[in-house]
Amino acid sequence: MNPRNSPFFRLFLPFATGVALAGCFDTPIPYSNQFFAGLILLVCILAISRYRYRFRWVFGISLSVLLFVFGHVLTIGRHEMRLPQHFSTLQTPVNYFWAEVYEAPAIGGRIKIPVRVLAAGAGADSLEQAQGNVLLLLDSMPEGALINYGDRLLVRGRPLPTEPPKNPEVFNYQRYLHFQNLHHQCFVTSDSICISGTGHGSWIWRHAYRCRDQLLYLLRIHFPTDDEYAVASALLVGFKDDLSDEILSAYAETGSMHALAVSGTHVGMLYMGLVFFTQRLRLRGRARLIETGAVLLAIWAFTFLTGATASVLRASVMFSAYMVGKAFFRQSSAWNVLPASAFILLLINPYFLFDAGFQLSYAAVAGMIFFYPRFYKMFPPGPRWSDEVLKVLLVGVSAQLGTLPLTLFYFNQFPVYFWLAGWIVVLGGAVFLWGGVLLVLVNWASVTCAAYLGKILYWLVLWMNKAIFLIQKLPFSMVADVWIPAWVSAALYLALIFLGAMLVWRKGRWMAAFLGLMTALGMYRVHARGQKLNQRAIVVYQLPQKRRLIDFFDGNRVYALSDTLTPKQEAFAARPLRIASAIHEKIPIMLEAGLSFRAPNLVFEQPFIQFFEEKVVLIGPAFQPDTTHAPLHVEALILTQSPNVSLADCLKQFPANMLVFDASNSKRKVDRWRKECETEGWPFHDVRTQGAWMHHL
C-alpha cells in the first residue's frame, strides 16, 4: 500500500479515532463545538496560504486534529438522550406515548419494534411534544393488524431504561442497544397498542420494505419446508428471523454465517456478474460512464429490494465508491476506496464503527485485498479448473485471516473446515443468487416456468443445508471455548501487520517481530492458564422464571448446583464466564430435598455448603431457624424460593458477611428484606436487581 495513492486512509484514521474515543467514553468535551469551528477556520487559512515546503506538516497536523474533533463531535451529537425535548426529561410520568415505527419490526423470541417518540404524557388526552427512541417488546401483534415501517402507534406503557447485563462476561445487550441509539424499552401487550396512522416515514424505505415482503411471499410459495425457506430468505433477502437454532448453529460452526446475511459476498457476486455482461458490450470513452451508471443502478436496486439492511448497505457503498473511483480515476487504489466507503458510512451513522458486522465486513475485505494476491503468487500455474478452485480457497483463507482476531473475540470459536464450507456456500450461493433474481423475473412472465425453476432452487438449498450439516459433524470441526480479551485481539492484528510487512518487504526483522509478539502472547496465555488453575470462586447467577444456579469454581473444574434448567438457560447465564475461566469439566449437582454431595473441596449437606474453608448456608422454604445451638459464622446466607423466615433470627444462628437474595424469590419479599437490611445496616446483595453475586476465595 502506497500512502500517496491512499489519501483517504490518512484522513480516515484520525476521524475514526475521534469516533472511537467518543463511543468508548461518551463524555462531551467542554467548548468542543467552538474549538471545532476554530479548527475549521485555521485549516481554511492554511489551505489558501503560502508557506515553505518544510512547514507542510503544520497543515497535515491541523487537518488531522480537525478530523479527530469532527469525529468526536459527530458521535457525541448522535446520542438520542441529548435531544432537547427527550421524553425522560418531562415533569409528568410517561404512561402513554405516540410514536412512529422507523425500522421494520424484528420477529424472534419477542417482536421488537423500534419507534421514534413524537409525544408523551401521563394520559392519552394529555400528551405533549417529545423526542427520543424506544424499543417496543411484545409477544404478538395486535389482533387483525400488522405493524409496518412508517406506522404511527399510540402506546399504553412506561418506557424503562435498558439494564446492564446481570451475569458476568455475558453479551452486553445494553451496550448493543446504545449503539443502535436505543436507551429505553417498553414491554407491552397487543391490546395496549393502537395503530393511529400508516404510510409515514420515507417513501423509499416504505417501498424497500414492501419489496422485501413481496420477495419473502414468493419464496414461501416455492420453498415449502421451514429450514429451506429460512435459508433461502436469508441468502436472497437477508431476512434471518425464521432461522432455527439448528441452522444457525450449523452455519456458525462451519464458518458460513456470512452466507446467511446479504452482505459484501452477495453484492460482490452481483457486481461480478453485471461486469461480466457489460464487458461484452465493449463500450469505450464516455459510454463507459453509461456502463458504470447501469451497474450502480442495478446494485442499488438490489439493495432496496432486499430491504436495505445494514450489511448490504455497507457493501453497496463500498462497491459504489470503487466503481466511481475506477470510472474517473482508472488506477483507483483499493486501499483508498475501502476507507472512503467507511468514511461515508460513518458520516451517516458513526455508531457503525462499533457494530460487529461493520468490523467483520471491512476486516474480511482488507484481508482479501492484501493476502489473496500474495498467497496466489505462491502457487505454480495449473489447469483452469484447479485454478478456479484454488482462487475460491485462497479468497476464503484470506478473509478468514483478516477476521480471525475478531472471530475469536466475539464468538469464542474458530471453524476448522471453513475452507471446505466456503466452496459450498460461495459457489452454491452464487448460483442461488442469480437463480433467485431469475425466479423473480420469470414469475412476472410465467408462473408455470417459475414453478419449475423454484423446484430446482429448492433442491439446491436442500442439498447445501445437508452438506453444511455433514461438515459440522466431521471430527475436530471446531475449536471451541476460546476466550481472549480485547487487547489480545488488537495484538493479533499487530501480528498480522508484521506478517504482512514480511510478505511485502521480505526482511528478517519483520518475521522476528511477528515471532516475538506471538511468543509473548503464548507466554501470556500460559501464565493466564496457570492462574486459572488456582482459581476459587462462588457465583450465584441471575436467571429468569425463578430458576436457580450456583457455580463453585475449583481450578479448571466447576460444580454446578442447580434445579431443573434447560441447557439453553444454563448456557445463556453461565457459559460465557465458564469459557473466560477456562473451565474444562462441569460436575452437576441437583438442588433436591435430602440430596447431599461430597467432593475433595466441596461438601453439600442441605442447608450447609462448605467450599474449601468458606461456609455458606442455603435458606429455602423448608429451613427452620434453631437458636438453641451456638452461632456459626458463615461467609454468606443465600435466601432462595421466598422462605418465610426472619432475617434477624437467621443472622443470630448464622452470623454472615453477606445476605444474598437469589432470583427465585418473589419481588415483594425481597423488597421487604431490602428495607430491613438498609434499616439495620446488614450487607446484602439482590441478584435480581444487582446481577450475579461473585465471591473470590
Give which of 400, 461, 471 is closest to 253, Cα–Cα: 471
Residue 310: count of CB within 10 angstroms of its CB: 17
**What percentage of residues in the chain have a pLDDT greater than 90?**
41
What CA–CA distances, in Å, run from 642 to 524, 639, 645, 646, 668? 45, 7, 9, 11, 9
> For residue 520, is pLDDT > 90?
yes
Q: Residues 350-391: pLDDT tens digits?
A: 999 998 888 888 888 888 889 988 998 888 887 877 787 788
8 A C-beta contact, residue 127 and residue 119? yes
Mean pLDDT of 436-443: 86
Cis peptide before 607 (omega within 30 of 0): yes
The domain covering 536-696 belongs, at the CATH homologous superfamily level, to Ribonuclease Z/Hydroxyacylglutathione hydrolase-like (3.60.15.10)
- The set of cell numbers assigned to 600 is 475433595
8 A C-beta contact, residue 427 and residue 448? no
Domain residue ranges of the chain, discontinuous segments joined by +: 3-78, 87-201, 207-479, 486-532, 536-696
Mean pLDDT of 474-495: 91
One DSSP character per residue, 119-174 reads: EEESSTTS-EE-B-EEEEEESSPPTT----TT-EEEEES--EEPPPPSSTTS--HH
pLDDT band for position 185 (50/70/90)? Answer: very high
Residue 328: count of CB within 10 angstroms of its CB: 10
Q: Which of 26-35, 166-175, 271-280, 292-301 has the lowest mean pLDDT?
A: 271-280
Half-sphere exposure of 282 (CA within 13 A, CB side): 0
Give which of 179, 27, 210, 207 is closest to 114, Cα–Cα: 179
Query: How far apart are the C-alpha atoms of 178 and 162, rounded to whole Å?
Result: 9
What CA–CA distances, in Å, run from 192 to 189, 340, 552, 593? 5, 46, 44, 43
Q: Residues 194-251: pLDDT tens digits?
A: 998 888 888 888 888 888 888 888 898 999 998 999 888 888 877 777 888 888 888 8
Q: Which residues contact 429 (CB under 8 A, 6 or more apart)?
A: 235, 259, 265, 266, 269
Looking at residue 143, what is its pLDDT?
61
> For residue 1, is pLDDT > 80?
no
Mean pLDDT of 532-545: 91
The residue that leads in pLDDT, 379 or 545, is 379
Give which of 648, 658, 640 is closest to 680, Cα–Cα: 648
Question: In which residue are the cell numbers 418506557 written?
Answer: 159
Query: How far apart are the C-alpha atoms of 597 and 328, rounded to whole Å?
Result: 75
- First-to-last CA distance in the chain? 52
Amino acid at 441: L
8 A C-beta contact, residue 207 and residue 168? no
pLDDT band for position 485 (50/70/90)? Answer: very high
pLDDT band for position 86 (50/70/90)? Answer: very high
| Domain 87-201 listed as CATH 3.30.200 | no
Mean pLDDT of 489-503: 93
> For residue 300, is pLDDT > 80?
yes
Query: How far apart are the C-alpha atoms of 23 and 21, rounded to whole Å?
Result: 5
Q: Residues 616-660: pLDDT tens digits?
A: 999 988 887 776 677 889 999 999 999 988 898 889 899 999 999
8 A C-beta contact, residue 235 and residue 260? yes
